[in-house]
Amino acid sequence: QVHLVESGGGVVQPGQSLRLSCAASGFTFSSHGMNWVRQAPGKGLEWVAGVWYDGTNEDYADSVRGRFTISRDNSKNKLFLQMNSLRAEDTALYFCARDLVPAAVDPFGMDIWGQGTTVTVSS
């Protein structure tokens, strides 16, 4: 069964860091691009970052560029999101999502999603 399970969310103060993880199972992780998407309370979906199947190319939303880093460990079937200099507006439910294709400049279609992990940035 295909599964994505996010972890690492929590409550942090502005300026602090957090690292999210996403564990994949039931499919060949190294054959798919992967993404992070978030939903702030009461708001719509926002794409955050994406990485190619082999980790050689990544892209970010302007709102997080320079503060967040997406990475992956194909030997452990895991996706990560390192979040630095967190702001109140980063408060959201963060989803990891599998792309249909291995390597796309932008998400081609995100067909498998986890249930999300909550990040709260508050003083």
Partner 1 sequence: EIVLTQSPGTLSLSPGERATLSCRASQSVSSSYLAWYQHKPGQAPRLLIYGASRRATGIPDRFSGSGSGTDFTLTISRLEPEDFAVYYCHQSGTFGQGTKLEIK
* Residue 61 makes contact with partner 1 by CB under 8 A: yes
Q: Which amino acid is at 109?
A: G
* Residue 5 makes contact with partner 1 by CB under 8 A: no
* Residue 116 makes contact with partner 1 by CB under 8 A: yes
**From candidates 68, 80, 114, 117, binder to partner 1 by CB under 8 A:** 114
Instruction: Report the SS3 class of residue 86.
Output: coil
**From candidates 23, 45, 69, 74, binder to partner 1 by CB under 8 A:** 45
CB 116 within 8 A of CB 44: no
Min CB(68)–partner 1 separation in Å: 13
Residue among 91 and 108 whose Cβ is closer to partner 1: 108
Q: Which residue has the tokens 């564990």?
A: 23
The footprint of partner 1 on this chain (CB under 8 A) covers a number of residues equal to 24
**Cα separation, 35 vs 58, whole angstroms:** 9
**From candidates 62, 66, 75, 123, binder to partner 1 by CB under 8 A:** 62
103 contacts: CB under 8 Å, gap ≥ 6? 33, 52, 53, 54, 57
Which among 48, 41, 44, 16 has a CA at the least distance from the CA of 92? 41
* Residue 115 makes contact with partner 1 by CB under 8 A: yes
**From candidates 37, 79, 81, 86, binder to partner 1 by CB under 8 A:** 37
